[in-house]
Amino acid sequence: MVGPNAPYRAGTAIVPELAAGAVVMRQGAILLIHELDEDRWCFPKGHVDPGESLEAAALREIQEETGLTDVKLGAEVGEASYRFFSPRREANVHKTSVYFLGESPAGTVTLERGFDAHRWATFQEARQLLTYDADRSILARAAVLARSRA
């Protein structure tokens, strides 16, 4: 098991990891992508390269994972942190993911390998589909920001 629910090993070395992504919206719907290996619904996000800004990393990861090139980032929604043991690294990972509110006027979603489905969901549908509480917390903050923009 990988991700926020993977067993953490307190006596094992820890590696910090920074990621950036967005709650991408289109006409009031939220983009969720399904990661095949972990069987989980999530927001597009991924690692921040050395020297890269959070915004640049978020836009790059959104494009890589969804194929969307027309995303405009708005306010920072917040960050989610969790830790887990990574068998591949043989180390614990303390992951911090920073999310922005994003808007995509249109476009065809073309998923990166490793993702097998996407959905433009209402806030309520997204809350039910998201696998982790940390993502549901980000969704709740995004809902507040989206309402204040309207």
Tell me the pLDDT tens digit for each residue of 52-99: 999 999 999 999 999 999 999 999 999 999 888 888 888 999 999 999
> Quick one: how many helices (H) and strands (E) in the chain?
3, 7
Distances in whole angstroms, Cα of residue 1 to Cα of each of 4, 99, 129, 147: 9, 24, 19, 36
| Average pLDDT across the chain, whole number | 93
| Predicted model pTM | 0.91
Q: How confident is the model at residue 119 (pLDDT cuts 50, 70, 90)?
A: very high
Return the percentage of the chain with pLDDT > 70, whole number: 95
Q: Is the pLDDT of residue 3 over 60?
A: no
Q: Is the pLDDT of residue 27 over 90?
A: yes
Q: For residue 82, give every residue at least 6 positions away whose Cβ sits within 8 Å of its Cβ, in sequence order, or none.
A: 3, 4, 94, 95, 132, 134
Q: How confident is the model at residue 107 (pLDDT cuts 50, 70, 90)?
A: confident
Residue from 94, 96, 103, 85 nearest 134 by CA: 96
pLDDT at 111 (0 to 100):
97
Angstrom distance (rounded) from CA 5 to CA 106: 34
Torsion angles phi and psi, residue 138, rounded to 5: -60, -40
What is the fold of 14-149? Nucleoside Triphosphate Pyrophosphohydrolase (3.90.79)
Annotated domain spans of the chain: 14-149
Residue from 19, 43, 24, 13 nearest 107 by CA: 24
Angstrom distance (rounded) from CA 38 to CA 142: 24
Q: For residue 103, give every residue at least 6 positions away whose Cβ sits within 8 Å of its Cβ, in sequence order, or none.
A: 24, 25, 26, 71, 72, 74
